[in-house]
Each structure stands twice: as C-alpha cells, then as structure tokens.
Structure 1
Amino acid sequence: MTASTAERRPLGAQISHLLRARGVDTIFGIPGVHNQEMYRGIEEAGITHVLARHEQGAGFMADGYARASGKPGIAYVITGPGLCNTMTPLGQAYSDSVPVLAISSCLDETAATRGQLHQMRDQVGAGATVCEWSLEARDAVSAYALIDRALDEMRCGRPRPRHLQVPIGTLQAEAQPFPAAPSVAPARPVDAAALDRLVAALEGARRPLFILGGGAVAGADAWRQVIRRLNAASFTTYAGRGIMGADAPLDFGSYLARPDSAGVIASADVVVAVGTELAEVDLWRRELGHTAPLIRVDVDPAQLAAAPGTATAIQADAAAVAEALLQRALPAPADGWSAQEVAAARMRWRAAVDTERPGIVPVCDVLAEAVPEDTMIFSDMTQFAYAANEVWPVSRPGHWHHPCGFGTLGYALPAAIGGAVARPGRPTLAIAGDYGFQYTVQEMGTAVELGLPLPILLWDNTKLGEIEDSMVGAQIAPNAVVAHNPDFAALARAYGARAETPRDADALRAAVSGAFAADRPTLIRVAPGQLA
C-alpha cells in the first residue's frame, strides 16, 4: 500500500488511530517521556484517555472496563517501572480471563548499554510472567499485526491479557498507514458427537447438576433455559453469580466453598461443569465431591486436559454449546431435586456465613435492597466481600466482579472506575476493606476528576481481619495485623469526594441513594457494630 504524506504519522500516533479503527474508545494510562509518542494521536483519533494516579490503577481500570463492557481494556504505560506497576493487574486479568492489552514503550537497545532511564534486564520476560504473551514490535508492520493478533485472540479464544512493547525510536519514526481490519474466522461449530455424549449422559438422570462459572456468563440466557427445561439443580462459582437469577428454586447459589456442598454434589447422578476451572478459589477443598460422571465444557483445551476425573470434555464456547442444546430434543425433566431441599441447604449455609463473619450479613441485606437492580459491583479482597460473595443475591450475570484467582488487594476502586466509564449513566458500586482500599486510594482523584457518581462502601474493621482469624486458627500470635488508619471521611473530602458515616440501616440506605445521585464519588464508611 502506497501512503501519501498526509497518511503518514509517527507510529505512536498510528497505534492510537489503529485502536480507534478497531473499536477502542477509551485508554487508561499515564504519559511519560518514554511513551509520549503514544499520546500524540489519542485526541486526534477520538479516543478518551483516563489519567490514573498509578499504573496499577490504570491496569485495574482497564480490567474493570473490560469486564463491564465486554471489550478489551487498553492501558498505555511507560518503560520499566510503568510496566512493573501494571503487572499486578495483568496477573489478575490473566487469572480471571479478562481481555486487557497493555502497550508500553521500551528502550531501543539494552544489550551493550547500561544505566539508561527505566532500564530493565528483560522487560518482555517480565510481562510474560503474567500475560498470555509478551512481545516486542520493532517496526510498524509488526506493531499493527500484533495488535490485531491480540484483539482477535481475545475475541475468539480465552480472553487473557497481552503485553506489547515498542521501542522509543520506533514510536517516534514516521510509519505507513495500518491495514484494514483482518477478516474474522467463523466460530468453530460445536462437535456434534460431543453434544450427543452430553445429551446421552443427561438421559435418564434424576438428579442432574450444573456448575456454572464465569465462562458461562455470555450464554447465561441459554444456559438458564437448558437447566430449567431439564429441571436440573445448579451451583455457580463467584464469577458465575447471577446466571440463574436470584430466585431460581433449584439453584444452590455460590456456596461451592461450603464444605458440605461436597455431599450435595455427591448426590447428583451427572455433573456438568461449564466455563469453570473448579479451582482452589472456587472450592477451597481438593476435591469437587462428585461420584457421578463429570462433563466439562470449556473453551480452553489446556484447562480440559488438566482436569482429572472428567468423563467427557467438550472444547467449545460455552454459549455456543447452550444454544446448540436448545436446538435439540432434551431429555424429559428430572424429578430428583426439590425446591425445599435446595432452600434448606441455602438457609443452612447462609447461617454458617453469618456465624463465621458476624455483623456482615445484615449489612449485605440492607445494601442488596438499597442498590438498583442494574448496579455493577466491584469488590476487593475483604471479609465483607467474602461473605457477600455467598449471601448477596445477584439477579444479573456479569454484574459482580471480584479478584478471585490472583487475589490482589486494591482492586475495587480503580476497577469500579473503569466499569463506570464503560457504563455511563448506569449504577456502579465499589466495596473495599480499610487496608486494601489504601493500596489504590489515590485513584479517588481520578473518580473525582471524572465526576463519577460512585458509592464506595468501606468496611473498616481497623485490621487485617481475615489474616488475624487465620493466624489465630493456626495458633500463631496475630502479629502485624493492626495498622493505624487515617480519618477516611476527611481523606475522601480532601480528594474532593463526598463522605458519609451512617449510624443505622435507614441512614445507610439514604447514603447509598444519595451517592448514586451525586456528581462525584462518595465514601460510605461502615464499621462492625456501627449500624444500630
């Protein structure tokens, strides 16, 4: 393709124009002298840039944006420390299968020269530890091809993060225009023989059980129809919450981590796990507990190969499998489960959560009634969220996001900012603990700058409560679990945010309602025993 002078731009600008042409409308990041060429074309391309206060925040914002929008989240970061600061959110995105593309600058030469600004021994290698791949583009053609490859792989395969770095000199050099978008290959049809085996396994089952993970969210409506037609029971992982709705009579909810859920699973005569790793962070025990045949549906062949005890493995997009099942004659509805059995188990497990973490379940109940149904929630690693992940009823799939696998602190606030940017005009809520909140508290400035009506529920138990409980349980003196906290309300106001400290349930409801209607974020501090 021959380019006119007008079509040629520095590669850094071309990259922004390429991303806009591929549907990207928002980029999260921080400019620096090394990546400033990437900022030359952002406004000209019509892309909104959200300025984070730390690259970790930029990465989490891109993660939250991706989860809320279903599109890849894009982060621009600088050489060296910029990428290193983004590695925690990239690791979280890898663990939770979130499509994030981090584009960084890099030094032109590192083999013979030492002592350069932001120099690392192996920047590509560092990115590779937390991404599906981490590669360097040394010319414009390679940069265009790798960006398209990343976006295509995220769309068609398991949507994990990628990292692309481009040398500073290459970003500065004039580059030819990027090509038209590559044609997207049609989705591979679901294997008919595998579907036959699945239907055959369900035939005659009196107690079929489905376990639905985050991979089933995109096909939630179809899976709900399949399971209801079969009169099957279900569990969801934390990432799969909402797939069955909040009132499905045969849904055991997200109580997989309850130890005696293994007994329920053992009573099933066929178990179908859809879009879930059944990992430690899903079960918190070594074994699922099934004695019947286990059927796995997953887009990732590596995941299927790593699942011992699987009777049938179906490598396919979970939504496609559900749609294909709806086109078939399904077995007659099962009669082995009862709504009373399911309700009794859920009541027992809810009581166990309330006993283990006193005072949290009643607050969850108040909040669940106070937030609009369409609220998208981003939670942090905090005891409040651990309890809420089990007891808070979620009516819509993909509306609660928790850093399950990597388990990083500091996720909720910046991820909620990204989610709110992706869903303007719709409600978003962040839930954080007092300790984890301080990992990324500086992103309050970004939320204020954007004028986001974002309630931030801060559970302030003045300590690392979960670690204290674990240490006591292990008969270890609970050292280093109590830290001096700031005046959180004053801190929020210092950033220009609102702050509330409700003293009873009615005041909490009013604070949440007011926060959704405000013109800026609102910190709502709740401490154990605070609500009358």
Structure 2
Amino acid sequence: MTHDHDLVLRPTAAQTAAALSAPPGRTGGDLVIETLRGLGATTVFGLPGQHALALFDALGRSDLTYVGLRVENNAGFAADAYGRVTGEAAPLLLSAGPGALTALPALQEAAAASAPVVAIGAQVPARGLGGGRHGYLHELRDQRASFRDIVKSVHEARTASQIPSAVAAAWESALTAPHGPVWVEIPADVLAAPTDLPVVTAPDATPHDLVPRPELTALAAHWLSRAERPAIVAGGGVVRSDAATKLRALAERLSAPVVTTFGGKGAFPWEHPLSLQSWLEDRHTTDFLQDADVLLVVGSGLGELSSNYHTFHPRGRVVQIEADLGKLESNHPALGIHADARLALSALLETVEERHDPAAPERVRAVLEAVRERIDAQGLTLERQVLASVRKALPDTAPSFWDMTILAYWAWSAFDPRRPGTMHSAQGAGGLGYAYPAALGAAAADPDRPVLAVSGDGGALYSVAELATARQHDLPVTWLIVDDGGYGILREYMTESYGRATGTELARPDFVALAESFGVPARRTTPEELEGDLREALAAPGPSVVVLPAVLRMFAPTHTED
C-alpha cells in the first residue's frame, strides 16, 4: 500500500541527477549557503572573522546579496529591520567569540520585537569545544550558553551532514509565531572541510500555524458581542501577522475603540473615529481602558510601557490573544488565547455579532481632547513642531526607525505612522544605536524607497561607522541626528530623580563634517527649516545626514491620578 507521504519523500529524477553530480571544490560553508538559498534567502548580513572565513568564501561563490556592516551588533540591527519590514527570515553571519558576543544586544532587541533573525555563528575547531583549555583564539567554555537566554532556539552542527538540517530547523523556528531570533553554531573546521555531499536544493522548513482553540474564540466572541463598553489594545503582533485589516473590521463591527501600543503603531488608522491613538502614558487613556467591561488585547503582553508602567488595573473581563506563550496572562488574568493574531481575529470575525454604539466615537473624542489639553498646558511647542515637521516631510510609505532618544519617546505616543509596519524603534529591549543600522537593513530590503533614521547624538555615536556601509552600498537612508550635547533622556531622568545629572554630557564630533568625510552629503538645520531640509534629503538618491542642534524636553507622563 502506498501512502501520500511516501510520494513526498521520493526524490525526483532531477534531484537524483543533482545528487550524483555534486560539483567539486565545495566545503561545509557551501552547505550553509546552499541551504539558505534553498530556503528562499536573497540577502544576508554580517561581518567576517577568522573562524568564519570558509563560510564567507562560500558566500562569495553564491548569488546572495551580502550587506556587510562595520560592527556585529549593527549587522544584527540591520538583519532585525530586514525581518521586520519583509516578514522573511534574515540571515546574520558571524564569527566566534568576540564577534559573536558583540551581536548579543541586537539579538535581544530582535527577541523583544519578535524579529525573525537566523544568526549563524562559527566556533573554534570541534576538538576545542566544551573545555576552554585548548588555547584557541576566541575560545569560550560554552558559547551557546551566551545565546540560549536570548534567542528562541539554539541549533548546532558538528559534522557537514548535520548542517542542512540544523539551518532548516532554525529557519522554521524563526518564522513560527511568535517570530524571533535563533542561533546556529558550526565549528570552523566543519565549515572549512571539503565535502562531497549533494548540493542542497529545497529543504522543508515550513513554519507551523498557531491556530486558536475554537471554544476559546467562541467564548470571547460571546463576551464581546454582549459587552456594553468593549475596547481593544492592539500590539505589535497585529502588525507582524499582517492583521491590521482584520482588526479594523472587528473594531467597526463591535463599535470598539482601539489603542495601539508603541510596538503596534500603525495597526489601526490614526484618524479613525474609533482610534484612541497611542497615548499610553496618560491617565485618561488608562482610565478609559480600565473602564471597559470587555477588553480585547491582541498581540501584546501588556508589559511595562503598554500598561502605563504597571498602573493599569482592568476592572472588566480581559481577552488576550498572544503568540508568545510566556506573555500570555503574565501580567493580568485573562481568557488567554495562544494563537497568531491574524488567525484569532479571523475566527472572531466569523463569530461575533454586530453591535452598534453611536456614542463610541464621542467617547474617543473626549479622551483625546483631554490628552491634548494636558499636553497643551505643558508649553512644549518646539517638540511638537519638530515632530510635526518630520511627519510632513516623510512620505507615507517610507519606513522610519527611531533610536532611544527624546524625539522617539514623543513619537511613540504622538506620531502617526499612516501605514502598518512603517514605524520601528528599539523599545523592546531599549538598547542605544538601533535606528541607523536598522534603517540600512530596511533600505537593503527595498532600495527604491527612502528610509528615515532618527537618533540623538549619544545614540548616533554608536553607529557612525555605518556611514561607510551606507556609502559603500549607496543605501537611500536619511539620518536625522538631534544634537543636544549628551544623553538627553538620561539627563532628564537623573535631574528629576536626583537633582543633577552625572555622566550625561558628551564631547561629540561635528556630525556634518564627519558625514562628509565618508562621502555622505550632510547639512545642519533649524526647527524652522527642518521640514524642507528633510524633504529634500529624503528625495535625493543615496544616503544623507541632517543635523538638528536642539534641546528637547519630554512631556510629563501621568502614571497616577493628577
């Protein structure tokens, strides 16, 4: 008797012919590259090192596009952004020891933001593994242990024959909801050793669907259909699963107001009558969400920022849809639905009954007006002017990447991204230096549209080496650097908490002259000229830098009753 799966496993005539005629001169490194190509990779990021030379030699024989950055952590940020904007896995090629460890902060951000990065790192020769006593350059007692607490999964290949399966398993893990970074480790001698194994063609690494349990979505639909004051919190999972259209349809069917988290920016139209926008650091928004008798949380763990620093205490029922099992009901008891946001929203749309609440838009307007009045009272004209100028200059479809800087903190709450998946920041893990290398990764994914990066001068100093990358690859990234002479947000925090700031003031370069030394056009601007200068820079081909000397202030958030 023949079963269907037997037919799937039987090689085709072409596969058999290819297996019997493997070209000479291949190594373990070729097996890595062939597997990546077979999985659909077109672009890889990274930085070579001594133990990874065979891997990069194989890369040079392939047709993959290589974007090499100047610091491994920046290469990780670039891969993170590529994964975010494409939804595809982004290969990141690293060496061993310091080269691998330098990428850890970027992988932490990818983990926090659920970005699918497949990091493939070299190791010392196989005989040196596990002891830390052989004296190999870059040797660690257990390199994998450094990654295990950060990435979704760890994979290794100790022989050439294990390479395709290890890479394919990592790829599948990275793209199975929740997306995330993975780590693959291969010893240098395995990468360099000749192989006569067949050429890798099309390994199977289909990600698993994370389907909601029907009895749970049925109960959630029942609650939502009969709610008097339903509301929705839309997180990054909505954007990652391409579920913004389904979210809007559900909100309109239920007349349910929607708040987007900072990671979920763009998941719901900013000017929609049911949009409460993203003012999460405001007591008016927090109170509104607490008053909901049924609160639907989609693709968010309601962590520190999304819960207004854990001052949010829901009084009604909570339904939480979350692909990351570790975040499900981790902060609030809920009807927890472990599922991909798109699949769960589809199930709810098929089940909920339509409810009409003509008063819902007016309730939304009242909250937003109260927020505006509070911000108006703080006299922050410059900050709002700068953010508005950025919005006016940036094309609607152009992605933007924001570092951990005061203007980005404003943008989390006040910036309208206008499209899903066009605004990204490092607020998942909160490391400095994200914006510029991430913008380069997005530009590598689509070099035909401009990309904006926004940094402070402190964060910019983490990334200045990548001006060389931008110039080398002629990537259309405009870098806005807000120069306030130091770590501005830390200056504010320390002054508020301790009455003075220590370690926050920085000597820094002339950023315009520095950019020009890399062959990157640059200009110094003012708040009044910012919109025009940014618009012109974004319209020009290739990289550019715009420097805005300005000291911005944060709006005062409200975590408790004023």
- Same fold by TM (over 0.5)? yes
Are residues 1:142 and 2:162 paired? yes
Mapped to 1, the partners of 2:139 and 2:514 lie a distance apart of: 35
| Pairing partner for 1:126 from 146, 162, 170 | 146
CA distance in 2, matches of 1:152, 1:298: 19
Structure 2 CA distance for partners of 1:97 and 1:351, relative to 1, 3 Å: farther
**Contact 1:272-1:295 at 8 Å conserved across structures:** yes
The alpha carbon displacement at 1:226 in A equals 0.8
Q: Which of 424, 428, 432 is 1:405 aligned to?
A: 428
Indicate the residue corresponding to 2:59 in structure 1.
42
**Residue 156 of structure 1 corresponds to which residue in structure 2?**
176
Deviations 1:20-59 (A, max 9, x none): 1111111111112210111122243310111111111111
SS of equivalent to 1:492: helix
**106-115 vs 434-443, which moves further:** 106-115
Question: Does 1:19 pair with 2:36?
Answer: yes
Q: Secondary structure at the match of 2:217?
A: helix
CA contact (8 A) 1:29 1:50 kept: yes
- Listed as ranges, the matches of 1:256-335 within 5 Å are 256-310=280-334, 312-335=335-358
Distance 2:223 2:413 in 1: 30
For 1:398 and 1:518, locate their aligned partners in 2 and report how far apart those are by CA, in whole Å: 23
Q: Per the alignment, in what secondary structure is the counterpart of residue 31 of structure 1?
A: coil
For the residues of structure 1 that align with 2:185 and 2:493, how far apart are their CA atoms? 41
Q: 2:270 aligns with which of 246, 256, 259?
A: 246
In the alignment, what sits opposite 1:467?
490
Structure 1 match to 2:227: 205
Cα deviation digits, residues 501-522 of structure 1 (max 9, x gap): 22353x3222222212323311
Unaligned runs of 5+ in 2: 1-15, 553-562
Provide closer, same or farther for how the CA distance between residues 402 and 59 of structure 1 changes in structure 2, counting only shifts above 3 A. same
Amino acid in structure 2 at the alignment position of 1:156: T
Deviation, 1:367, is 1.5
**Partner of residue 31, structure 1:** 48
Name which of structure 1's ranges 330-339 and 122-131 shifts more when overlaid on structure 2. Answer: 330-339
User: 2:255 aligned with 1:255, yes or no?
Assistant: no
**Residue 458 of structure 1 aligns to a residue in which SS?**
strand
Structure 1 counterpart of 2:460: 437
CA shift for structure 1 position 295: 0.4
The DSSP-based 3-state class of the residue aligned with 2:29 is: helix
> Counterparts of 2:219 and 2:25 in 1: how far apart (Å)?
55
Alpha-carbon deviation of 1:402? 0.7
> Quick one: distance in 1 between partners of 2:102 and 2:38?
28
Matched, 1:194 2:211: no
1:165 aligns with 2:182: no
- Structure 1 counterpart of 2:412: 389
- Aligned partner of 1:223 among 241, 244, 247: 247
CA pair 512-286 structure 1, distance change in 2 beyond 3 A: same
1:205–1:334 Cα contact (<8 Å) kept? no
Equivalent in the alignment of 2:124: 107
Match of 1:236 in 2: 260
1:448 offset after TM fit, Å? 1.1
State whether residues 208 and 334 of structure 1, in contact with CA within 8 Å, keep that contact through their aligned partners in structure 2: no
What is the TM-score of this pair, normalised by structure 1?
A: 0.94
Amino acid at match of 2:213: D
Q: Are residues 260 and 289 of structure 1, via their aligned partners in 2, closer, same or farther at CA, if it must alter by over 3 Å?
A: farther
Assess if the C-alpha contact under 8 Å between 1:502 and 1:525 holds in 2.
yes
Equivalent residue, structure 2, for 1:496 = 519
Aligned to 2:367: 345
Letter in 2 for 1:460: D
Structure 1 residues 21, 315: CA separation in 2 closer, same or farther (over 3 Å shift)? same
Paired with 1:346 and 1:20, the residues of 2 have a C-alpha distance of 49
Q: Measure the CA separation in 1 of the matches of 2:307 and 2:329.
A: 19
Q: What residue is the counterpart of 2:545 in the other structure?
A: 523
Displacement of 1:93: 0.6
Change (3 A) 1:344 1:145: same
1:92–1:185 CA distance, 2 compared to 1 (3 A): closer
Instruction: Find the aligned partners of 1:156 and 1:86 in 2 and give their Cα distance.
Output: 22
Q: Report the secondary structure of 2:82's partner residue.
A: helix
The whole-number CA distance in structure 2 between the counterparts of 1:410 and 1:98 is: 17
Structure 1: gaps spanning 5 or more residues? none
Aligned to 1:423: 446
Letter in 1 for 2:306: D
Residue 67 of structure 2 aligns to a residue in which SS?
Answer: strand
Letter in 2 for 1:500: R
Q: Shift of the alpha carbon at 1:66? A: 0.8
What is aligned with 1:508? 530
The one-letter amino acid of 2:193's match is A
Q: C-alpha distance in 2, partners of 1:387/1:484?
A: 25
**Contact (CA 8 Å) 1:243, 1:395: kept in 2 or not?**
no
| 1:59-74 matches, cutoff 5 A | 59-74=76-91
Give a deviation string over 1:35-88, Cα, whole Å, max 9, x none. Answer: 011112224331011111111111111011111111111111111011111111
CA 7–342 in structure 1, closer or farther in 2 if over 3 Å, else same:
farther
Answer whether contact 2:35 2:203 (CA < 8 A) is retained: no
Q: 1:90 to 1:138 in 2, by over 3 A?
A: same
| Aligned-pair Cα RMSD in Å | 2.0
Amino acid at match of 1:158: P
Q: Is the 8 A contact 1:359 1:528 kept in 2?
A: no
Contact residue 29 and residue 58 of structure 1 kept, 8 A: yes
Q: Distance in 1 between matches of 2:352 and 2:462?
A: 52
**How much does 1:112 deviate?**
6.8
1:262/1:281 CA distance change after superposition, 3 Å: closer
Pair 170,502 (structure 1): closer, same or farther in 2 beyond 3 Å? same
What is the deviation of 1:350?
A: 4.4
Q: What SS does the corresponding residue of 1:338 show, helix, strand or coil?
A: helix
Structure 1 contact 278–288 (Cα < 8 Å) conserved: no
Contact persistence 1:67–1:98 (CA under 8 A): yes
Q: Given the two structures, how large is their TM-score scaled by the length of structure 2?
A: 0.89
- Higher mean alpha-carbon deviation, 74-83 vs 124-133, is at 124-133
What displacement does 1:307 show?
Answer: 3.8
